[in-house]
Structure 1
Amino acid sequence: MKRNFLYSCLIALASLGFVACESDNDEKEGKVPDGATPTQEFTFGDCEDEAHAEDAMKLNVEGWESNTTMDFTSIEFFGDGHYLITTPLAPHAPERTVSVAREADGSTAIFKKHGTKHLKTRATDNNGTMDIDNGKYQYGTYTRVNAHTYRLSDNSVIEFLNDVEEGRGEVTYTNRYGVQSNVHVSLATQDKTATPNRSLCRSWRCDSFEMWMYMNGAYLAHGKQWMENGRVYHDIKLSPSANKWGIEEDDFFDPDTEYCHRVIFSPSGTYVCFYMDGDVDVACWEWSNQSNGIMHYWDPYVDDDDDWSGDVTVRFKGNQMRVYEDYSETEELMTAHIVAVNTFTAGY
């Protein structure tokens, strides 16, 4: 749920003199339902490792030994067989400081678009390689040719000249035109073997997004979006209070094109959201409280971590994952409160 909706609701309802309980029904339904809150116990998922789980890693460029143009600043191999290249055209990410858990304030939502300029994709070849945001990123598939060599879907090749498992190493990069470059790389911090990471770090299909909204403790609305046969459906139920104050169904959900139908999490701290209209968001995650399944997320290209970050609760059951969000914002004694549940199934 976007900040502008929370804020606009607060301003409008405050000016109209909204009171906490407009009806007995609103008061009765003001309690957050059990299904909207995570279980106390954090258990792990029950999914087989993806086909390329052992290849999952992120290489950051330390130096480029060539007079040729630097083609990438990092490359990440995902466990589902896809890769993500970050090019020098992408903005420089500020140095990451140690995050501290903080209560979400309603300004963000983990799987909603967060860029001021959305990242459009376009196909660049018949193998499904895509340019993202006018060449800032490249996304495609990879094949492991042997123990030391990977071929990307754009026909470029990366060959390891030594073991980067120690943290640093050297690779030979041959671009799609056959030009070779030696590149010094470092291995991003990761822990592929940690059980929480093995549960989370994979490709997920978004089954549904469900949310409840309250104002000063009174129930306003319940909405749900879900995927069925490649199409997004939604259902919204408004309370009498919402109808009285002129709140409409369209106020609660962004257009269907903003539905995140797929997300990839990596053990290197990257997650990528794919939207129905072809937009893509690239962001970062880490466990802020791993034993309780609390995840912190942020935009790596925003200087102020508070501008786009938050904490969510993750729960697994079998091959499903649920991500619970809880946002609130106060303005002129009015408090808007939104809880949401994102449901995913492993694989895509």
Structure 2
Amino acid sequence: MKRNIIYSFFIALACIGFVACDNDDNNQGMNLPEGSKPSTKFTLGNCEDEQNAKDAIKMDVKTWGDGKTDKEFASIELFGDGHFLITTPNALNAPKRATDGTRKANRPASILKKSGKSPMLTRTNIDNGTEDIDNGLYIYGTYTRVKDGVYKLSNNTMIEIKDGVVKGTATVTYTNRYGVSITIIVSIDYNYKQDAAIRQLCRSWKFNESEVWLYANNTCFAYGKQWMKYGRVLQEVTLSPEAKKWGFEEDDVLETDDCCKRIVFSPCGRYICFYADRSIEVGHWEWTDMKNGVLRLWEPVDLDDDDDDDDDDWADVTVRFDGKQMYLYHDFMDEENDIVFRALGVSTFSAGF
């Protein structure tokens, strides 16, 4: 995962003599901007179920045919918005990120900013709209419900759940793009449906706007805002005179290509970010404090991390709902050479796509 550029600048600032301030309480005396902090109470939104909400399901392969043919996928998940995500066996063999919750979180200024040195670029098949993520680790596309338990996928395959059984394990007939039918046994994940908070979170969300404030020892030195207009990401960045003196530029704070224009949360612990430059990243999420709406986000696969620093492999964010809108707040702090760095931000999304 890419080390935060801004964090590296702070190390440089310490080297050129930035004067640190004594501060026993990082919040004491700080005049935090309006809108940068979530409300104290976590309440649910009022989003209707998505069109395919009753079809949402995750199937993990336990047995593939008679064992004589290569396994074509390790799991398949149907989302309530009518899309699917296939996880291939190669994804299971990719290097895994650690999930040690005790380490620091050095995160970029924008919580949903792309993290890889090489973006997980997609190849889009114009004929059917199916996208190949990161050279085949994942396949993303749309599905059509033919009838109960039978689904046609946009990559010219078919899934049929035998006898409509959706609890525990199930027998599934998978017909691949060559017309070969294979009987597989899968384990079913669907028990999330009874949880109201998960039903509100887990859907497709489209980006509205985001704001970020960067601080050094309680002094704000940069502000950035992004928003959508006619399908394009626009932004403005304000740097203090000191930030300019230190060599900060606008793209050290925000870049339009890094904007997550759509995010999908899966009820089975997955999220997918679709960025403005048409790259896609697949990650995992879990509640760390459901009562207060706190999520942990991380990427399960470590494809291009060429250092031993795992500080920035995860991030905790606070979720707030307001009707059909969702707000994701972050508040990250770090310290180097007596300089306390803090980044606050909020991203706003609307339900639906």
TM-score normalised by L of structure 1: 0.90
Q: Find the aligned partners of 1:19 and 1:218 in 2 and give their Cα distance.
A: 12
- Residue 279 of structure 1: aligned partner: 279
> Which residues of 2 match residues 25-36 of structure 1 at below 5 A?
31-36=31-36
- Residue 195 of structure 2: aligned partner: 194
Deviations along 1:95-149, one digit per CA (max 9) or x if unpaired, are 9999758763436864122234321111225121121222221111111111121
Count of residues in correspondence between the two structures: 340
Letter in 1 for 2:333: S
Secondary structure (helix, strand or coil) at the match of 1:36 reads coil
Alignment pair present for 1:312 and 2:317:
yes
> Which residues of 2 match residues 241-252 of structure 1 at below 5 A?
241-252=242-253
- Residue 25 of structure 2: aligned partner: none
Alignment pair present for 1:229 and 2:234:
no
- Which is worse superposed, 95-104 or 175-184? 95-104
Secondary structure (helix, strand or coil) at the match of 1:9 reads helix
Could you tell me whether the CA contact under 8 Å between 2:97 and 2:313 is conserved in 1? no
Deviations along 1:25-44, one digit per CA (max 9) or x if unpaired, are xxxx9522130000001011
Deviations along 1:221-246, one digit per CA (max 9) or x if unpaired, are 11011111111111111123223323
- Residue 306 of structure 2: aligned partner: none
Structure 2 unaligned spans of 5+: 22-28, 304-308
Go from structure 1 to structure 2 and tell me whether the alpha carbon gap of 1:113 and 1:96 turns closer, same or farther (over 3 Å shift).
Answer: closer
Q: Find the aligned partners of 2:90 and 2:346 in 1 and give their Cα distance.
A: 35
- Which is worse superposed, 84-93 or 211-220? 84-93
Letter in 2 for 1:236: V
Q: Find the aligned partners of 1:81 and 1:51 in 2 and give their Cα distance.
A: 7
Could you tell me whether the CA contact under 8 Å between 1:104 and 1:326 is conserved in 2? no
Deviations along 1:40-66, one digit per CA (max 9) or x if unpaired, are 010111111100111111111111014
Letter in 2 for 1:159: E
- Residue 77 of structure 1: aligned partner: 78
Q: Find the aligned partners of 1:8 and 1:148 in 2 and give their Cα distance.
A: 52
- Residue 115 of structure 2: aligned partner: 114
Could you tell me whether the CA contact under 8 Å between 1:114 and 1:308 is conserved in 2? no
Go from structure 1 to structure 2 and tell me whether the alpha carbon gap of 1:110 and 1:58 turns closer, same or farther (over 3 Å shift).
Answer: farther
Q: Find the aligned partners of 2:126 and 2:219 in 1 and give their Cα distance.
A: 53
Q: Find the aligned partners of 2:247 and 2:125 in 1 and give their Cα distance.
A: 46
Letter in 2 for 1:318: G
Shift of 1:205: 0.4
Alignment pair present for 1:212 and 2:213:
yes
> Which residues of 2 match residues 1-348 of structure 1 at below 5 A?
3-19=3-19, 31-66=31-66, 67-92=68-93, 100=101, 104-106=105-107, 110-188=111-189, 190-254=191-255, 256-302=256-302, 307-348=312-353
Secondary structure (helix, strand or coil) at the match of 1:37 reads coil
Deviations along 1:243-301, one digit per CA (max 9) or x if unpaired, are 332322222123x2221101100101110000111110000001111010000111122
Could you tell me whether the CA contact under 8 Å between 1:190 and 1:267 is conserved in 2? no
Shift of 1:158: 0.6
Secondary structure (helix, strand or coil) at the match of 2:291 reads helix
Q: Find the aligned partners of 1:83 and 1:243 in 2 and give their Cα distance.
A: 45
- Which is worse superposed, 302-311 or 147-156? 302-311
- Which is worse superposed, 319-328 or 190-199? 190-199
Secondary structure (helix, strand or coil) at the match of 2:192 reads coil
Go from structure 1 to structure 2 and tell me whether the alpha carbon gap of 1:127 and 1:109 turns closer, same or farther (over 3 Å shift).
Answer: same
Could you tell me whether the CA contact under 8 Å between 2:121 and 2:280 is conserved in 1? yes
Letter in 2 for 1:171: V
Q: Find the aligned partners of 2:288 and 2:323 in 1 and give their Cα distance.
A: 23
